[in-house]
Amino acid sequence: MLLNILILLLSFGIVGLVIIPSTQRLFMRQFALSVTSSVFVFSLLLWLGFDQSTPKFQFVVESLWLPVANINLILGVDGISLFFILLTTLIFPLCLLASWSFDKGGVKMYLISFLSMELVLLLVFTNLDLLFFYIFFEAVLIPMFLVIGIYGSRQRKIRAAYMFFLYTLLGSLFMLVGVVYIYLFAGSTNYEVLSAVAFSPYDQRWLWLAFFASFASKVPMLPVHIWLPEAHVEAPTAGSVILAGILLKLGSYGFLRFSLGLFPEASVYFTPLIFSLSVFGVVYTSLTAIRQTDLKRLIAYTSVAHMNLVMIGLFTGTVIGIEAAILQSLSHGFVSSALFLIIGVLYDRWHSRVVKYYGGLTHTMPVFITIFLFFTMANLGLPGTSSFIGEFLLLVSAFEANTTACFFATSSMVLGGAYSLWLFNRIAYGNIKIVGLDLNYREFMVFLPLVLGTLFMGIYPNVFFCPMHASVSNLVWVNLWA
């Protein structure tokens, strides 16, 4: 019932925005913010009503679509998808609030794109049918393509939109072939049915590679990461927040749900490949981030580094490693979103993202710099923040699984300190280069939930670990790692 309410609310919001006259810009913004805020409140009821003792899917909604072919739309929530849903419903109202004064192009299409994106993302994270998962997984590309291509900041926005679309679409074509093969083999695309199907080791490896081509470009993993910095640089602030905070999680969620859940033997077989690519990605993107002069491009590369660290945790094959990877994904959703919002504040005031343009902001924007310092510390894993818990447990699990991979992955903490502190130092201290107003009330309220969430997750992570434990334990025990 709760999932139906979330979907109906967003559908109602999209229809309402279509009906409201384009001249009513303020009312459209208020209406869209009210809808997304209501969706967040109802999503909290999923958490409150969630039974932590069972790995089974809850709040299940089944709609017959093509019963003759055994293909139906089935939605459900377990401990793995619960917090991805909550992260999605939290970030969207913050994005709309952050872009309250954004007035480039048509406001109506801008708001419709964001509500459509939230609707499709919720359908992705709750879908229990492989075919529908693929459909919604690819449908996310359309509204984000419009956001980057229409509302981007520079002339390269069209090129960036097409890079984003083509890189992620081409990889997913292999996944479509895999989905068709699975349907012909098993006669169903129901996830719970497929979980009981015994694919041969040979079939598992080819299917795993087909899904890998799709999910790796979403994480993104090297060498298919090139689209991300381009998309971030050209996207509006809210678009960058959605990209880093939620869309990158589609890749890690896909690996967790389908690669590990349906192809366990192949996952074990290809673990060295994942470790190698992820370690190389962590080191390479961290070093690349240090030399960036564009604020957005710098944070984009740090996002790639953190998501590749998440991949190492997912393939450690331990309960604590996978739980730490999920927590680190959530932490990344909070911290990276906040960092892009921080850059958006600077860009809204001075329309520049060049690092050397800024300096001495401690003297003119003390509240802004305090929040910037907090999320800089969170980004490099300061104890007491969410990133510390996720990274520490993740690296402990990685050490048990592969000491060499853990050694190089740990370098991300050193390199993270280098690019994070150096960036903060250049913007906060030194000679005063520009003078501007500090955060206003609306901007402060955008950052407040992210600050509180990062602190709460870092101080009391058990609240997040308990709901996911039964589902993650079940995932590990049905695999060969147990």
The tokens of 429 are what? 């201290």
Packed helices 295-314 and 403-428: angle between N→C axes, nearest 10 degrees: 160
The tokens of 224 are what? 């298919």
The tokens of 411 are what? 């370098």
DSSP 8-state symbol, 220: T
The tokens of 445 are what? 């309220």
- Each of the 482 residues of the chain gets a pLDDT tens digit; together they read 788 899 999 999 999 998 988 888 889 999 999 999 999 999 999 999 888 888 888 888 888 787 777 788 889 999 899 999 999 999 999 999 988 877 776 788 889 999 999 999 999 999 999 999 999 998 888 888 888 888 877 677 788 888 888 888 888 888 999 999 999 988 888 888 888 888 888 889 999 999 998 898 888 888 878 888 888 888 888 888 998 889 889 989 999 999 888 888 898 899 999 999 999 989 888 888 888 888 888 888 888 888 899 999 999 888 898 999 999 999 999 999 999 999 988 888 888 888 888 888 888 889 999 999 999 999 888 888 988 988 889 889 888 888 888 888 888 778 888 888 888 888 888 777 777 788 888 989 999 999 999 999 999 999 999 999 888 988 886 554 44
CB 470, CB 323: distance < 8 Å: no
pLDDT of amino acid 481: 47
pLDDT of amino acid 475: 85
The tokens of 228 are what? 């991300």
- Among 379, 365, 368, 364, residue whose Cα is nearest residue 298: 379
Report, in this order, helix, strand and coil percent for the chain, each rounded to 5: 75, 5, 20
Q: Report the predicted TM-score, pTM, of the whole model to 2 decimal places.
A: 0.93
CB 317, CB 268: distance < 8 Å: yes
Burial class (CB in 10 A: 0-12, 13-18, 19+), 51: exposed
- Among 153, 104, 118, residue whose Cα is nearest residue 32: 118
